[in-house]
Structure 1
Amino acid sequence: MSFYISLSGLKAAQTDLSTTANNVANVNSTAFKKSKAVFGDIFAAAPMQTTTQVAGQGVRTQGISQQFTQGTIETTDKTLDLAITGEGFFTVKRSADDQIGYTRNGAFSVEEDRYVVDTTGARLQVIPLDPTTGAPTVTGTLTPASLTDLKIPTNWPDGGTGNQLTSVGVSEEGKITGVYADGSTVYLGATAIAAFNSQEGLRQSGDAHWTATNASGAPMLGTGNSGLFGSIRSGALERSNVDITEELVNLISAQRNFQANSKAIEAANTLSTTIVNMRT
């Protein structure tokens, strides 16, 4: 039995090593959220057996949870580099299959059709606004279906030949405005920020993107600078929340745990060999 107990310890240490190694590998990934392996002991006994005389049966991995703590904000010179200071997520949609996703990676850019996309090519979703007043045109509860793709026209009105775009601005609320050659300011939309009852229930999909699940609950949508949604900073990006010093200490700890369990297997093997030799 001791062989299997130590084997479970080896597997747990290996999982811990893999989790920490992934954190270290993504220390420079924009908006990456570090993970932590959670373990629990294995114990079993017969109904009439005295549990004080029974040793445990090893360890098991209960899960690998992400830590959604705020990462450091790094200033850039690009207007469409956006960072959220708070617990919200940007809402994006893949044009290929209309899959809605959520991300903290605010490295947005304009593609050839003038739509604003993230690093994966998914389009940033915004709340429609009145171009002149900036008031939301959607009434009632916001849902992903009521959002639209953000498009920054080169000319205003869109498709015209005059009034070329001169600059773009983003407020703390996430309202995107375009300033055109005639001096007019046009509201293009408000960045849709999503918040969840349980962030840990989100499903990872890579590139600092997540999708909603039953465990996370339905997204609550709103604008920045209010409640759980946090505020938006233009010209900035959120860095990974990995503390490299802490991760290196975790690596050493996991390595020592692996070595200790290896020694336990070696000791059990020596004891078994001794017993077999006694019988022969």
Structure 2
Amino acid sequence: MSFYTSLNGLKNAQTDLGVISHNIANAETNGFKKSRTEFADIVVGSAFTNPKLIVGIGAAVESVTQSFALGPIEQTGSALDLAINGDGFFTLVNTVNQETLYTRNGSLSVNEAGYITDGSNNRLQVFPTDATGTITSTTPTDALIPATNGTDASGNPIDFAGITVADDGAITASYADGSNIVVGKVALASFIAPQGLKQVGSSNWVANGLSGAASYGQPSTVQYGSLLSGALERSNVDIAEELVGLITAQRNFQANAKAIDTATQISQTVIQLRT
């Protein structure tokens, strides 16, 4: 029995080491959220077992829980670097499979077609607005920046000149003649149980039954948080904390390995006595 108990301990320590290593590896990943391993003891008995004589048989990994605590905010100066001061998520759509993704990484840019995208060409979702910036639909759509805003008196196109994002999510495109157009308001998502979101890499998550469906709202309202333009949220990994956890997990691994070694020596002694 002690062999299997310690073997489970080795596997658990290995899982813990893997989670901590993943956290440390992403200490510089924008929008990354650290995880921690949670264990549960295993106790087996029956209705006829004396509760005073029940011996546990080890531990198991109960869950790998994500922490969505806010990470440090770094000022960058780029208008399309966005950080959320709150609990919301940016909403993106994968243009290949139309999958909806959620992220805290607000490092965005405008691609050659005028869409606002992340580094993987996933398109940012916004609420459509009228010319005054009033939301006209609560169904998010792709954020698209028109390359021109009509023509001037000579018939020449009025080219795009710049972009700004307000703390309420309003994306305003500026043009060479000084005109401005609000192209939409950033659609933020919120979940009743964000710890249930499924990680899919690149600081992105997808919704599932554990997280519940996304509810959408604009920044600076209720639980969604406000936007900070010209800033990025860094990883919430604390290197010092992770290194202490790494040492603890290593000692846990060594202790279980030593228990197996001790059990082996006892078994060898018993076998030698019988012979």
Scaled by the length of structure 2, the TM-score of the pair is 0.96
- Structure 1 regions of 5+ residues with no counterpart? none
Residue 31 of structure 2 is matched in structure 1 by: 31
Is the CA contact (8 Å cut-off) linking 1:155 and 1:161 kept in structure 2? no
Query: Structure 1 residue 152: deviation in Å?
Result: 1.3
Out of 141, 144, 159, the position equivalent to 1:151 is 144
Alpha-carbon deviations, 1:64-115, whole Å to 9, x = none? 1110000001111211111111110000001112111111111111111111
Alpha-carbon deviations, 1:27-71, whole Å to 9, x = none? 011111000111101111121110211210111011111100000
RMSD: 1.3
Distance 2:150 2:78 in 1: 25
Residue 94 of structure 1 is matched in structure 2 by: 94
Query: Structure 1 residue 154: deviation in Å?
Result: 2.2
Is the CA contact (8 Å cut-off) linking 1:37 and 1:65 kept in structure 2? yes
Call closer, same or farther: CA 1:89–1:278 in 2, change over 3 Å.
Answer: same
Distance 2:46 2:149 in 1: 77
Distance 1:127 1:115 in 2: 14
Out of 162, 168, 190, the position equivalent to 2:163 is 168
Residue 136 of structure 1 is matched in structure 2 by: 135
Is it true that 1:104 corresponds to 2:104 in the alignment?
Answer: yes
Call closer, same or farther: CA 1:147–1:64 in 2, change over 3 Å.
Answer: same
Call closer, same or farther: CA 1:157–1:228 in 2, change over 3 Å.
Answer: farther
Call closer, same or farther: CA 1:214–1:31 in 2, change over 3 Å.
Answer: same
Residue 246 of structure 2: SS of its match in structure 1? helix
Residue 198 of structure 1 is matched in structure 2 by: 193
Residue 257 of structure 1 is matched in structure 2 by: 252
Alpha-carbon deviations, 1:222-258, whole Å to 9, x = none? 1101111011111111100000000000000000011
Scaled by the length of structure 1, the TM-score of the pair is 0.94
Is the CA contact (8 Å cut-off) linking 1:110 and 1:117 kept in structure 2? yes
Is the CA contact (8 Å cut-off) linking 1:117 and 1:124 kept in structure 2? yes
Distance 1:217 1:13 in 2: 31
Q: Name the aligned partner's letter for residue 122 of structure 1.
A: N
Distance 2:213 2:46 in 1: 43
Distance 2:156 2:62 in 1: 60
Is the CA contact (8 Å cut-off) linking 1:125 and 1:191 kept in structure 2? yes
Distance 1:216 1:103 in 2: 14
Residue 271 of structure 1 is matched in structure 2 by: 266
Is the CA contact (8 Å cut-off) linking 1:194 and 1:219 kept in structure 2? yes
Distance 1:214 1:54 in 2: 36
Residue 207 of structure 1 is matched in structure 2 by: 202
Q: Name the aligned partner's letter for residue 272 of structure 1.
A: S
Distance 2:225 2:169 in 1: 10
Moved over 4 A (4+): none
Query: Structure 1 residue 15: deviation in Å?
Result: 0.6
- Structure 2 regions of 5+ residues with no counterpart? none
Residue 189 of structure 1 is matched in structure 2 by: 184
Alpha-carbon deviations, 1:173-202, whole Å to 9, x = none? 111001222222211100100000000111
Is the CA contact (8 Å cut-off) linking 1:89 and 1:195 kept in structure 2? yes
Alignment map for 1:219-230 (pairs within 5 Å): 219-230=214-225
Q: Name the aligned partner's letter for residue 79 of structure 1.
A: A
Aligned length: 272
Query: Structure 1 residue 161: deviation in Å?
Result: 4.5
Distance 1:182 1:237 in 2: 31
